[in-house]
Amino acid sequence: MLTRKQHELICFITDRLEETGVSPSFEEMKEALDLKSKSGVHRLISALEERGFIRRLPNRARALEVLKVPERADVKPIKKAAPAPAVSAPIPIAANDVLEIPLHGRIAAGMPIEAMEGQSMLSVPAALLGSGDHYALEVSGDSMVEAGILDGDYALIRRAETARDGEIIVALVDESEATLKYFRREGAMIRLDPANRAYDPQRYRPDQIRVQGKLAGLLRRY
């Protein structure tokens, strides 16, 4: 069962593809659904993808394909943006969209340091994010360099409260400090492993650790 906004969005995308062969941009979707930000569009797209109504085309970032269309009875039509110029081939390629996600300060990739020092926003290509709620943290330290995570990188984190062995997580230690590490269970303890042989694993009781998210991607500026 789709929400009204999900229903409106899939119908809008379908109509645009039928008219022009080109997917609407996130900005056009935002305006058509009267949403306040493109983050809301991203959440709707992810929900439709999870329910099997659309998919992102492989090897063509930000391209959308409609897999099935719901019934349109009793659905109020939404306003349409001006049609895009006609193209020679019906390849549905959307615009290069950027989302803004919260940037919650710095996180240690060495010894734990205080995280969530404040909040600003970080612009991230939508293609880097999957489903779920995301935020970003600036990496400080070198303990994850062997995993390709460098000092100054922006870690893109999908919010989660649980983790499996081997996943890279944001762990909140003693409700005060956060660190980015591999998650492992070791008997009755939780072990946080670095990806740098110069650093030792950190061991904690389960009640000392709270999972705050899983690594979903990295953003690096040069």
Does pLDDT of 200 surpass 50? yes
Q: Which of 60-64, 161-165, 173-177, 209-213 has the lowest mean pLDDT?
A: 60-64
H helices present in the chain, as ranges: 4-20, 26-32, 38-50
79 is catalytic: no
CATH code (residue 125): 2.10.109.10
What are the structure tokens assigned to 195, written together? Answer: 């990806």
For residue 7, the model assigns a pLDDT of 87
Q: Over the stretch 101-112, which tens digit does the pLDDT of each residue have? A: 888 878 877 655
pTM, entire model: 0.56
Residues 189 and 214 in one domain: yes
Average pLDDT in the chain = 79
The single residue of 23, 39, 140, 181 carrying the catalytic annotation is 181
Please name every residue paired with 95 in a beta bridge, in sequence order, or none if there are none: none
Tell me which of 96, 121, 151 is where a domain ends: 96
| Domain count of the fold of the chain | 2
Residues 63 and 143 in one domain: no
Closest CA to 98 of 121, 124, 120, 136: 124
Tell me which of 96, 131, 161 is where a domain ends: 96
Cα three-residue angle 109-110-115, rounded to 5 degrees: 60
Percent of the chain with pLDDT over 70: 80
Residues 21 and 11 in one domain: yes
Q: Are the C-beta atoms of residues 169 and 220 closer than 8 Å to each other?
A: no
Q: Over the stretch 48-85, which tens digit does the pLDDT of each residue have? A: 888 888 887 654 545 777 888 777 544 444 444 445 44
Residues 102 and 66 in one domain: no
Tell me which of 69, 96, 123 is where a domain ends: 96
46 is catalytic: no
4: CB partners within 8 A, 6+ apart: 75
Helix, strand and coil in the chain, % to nearest 5: 20, 35, 45
The single residue of 123, 143, 176, 214 carrying the catalytic annotation is 143
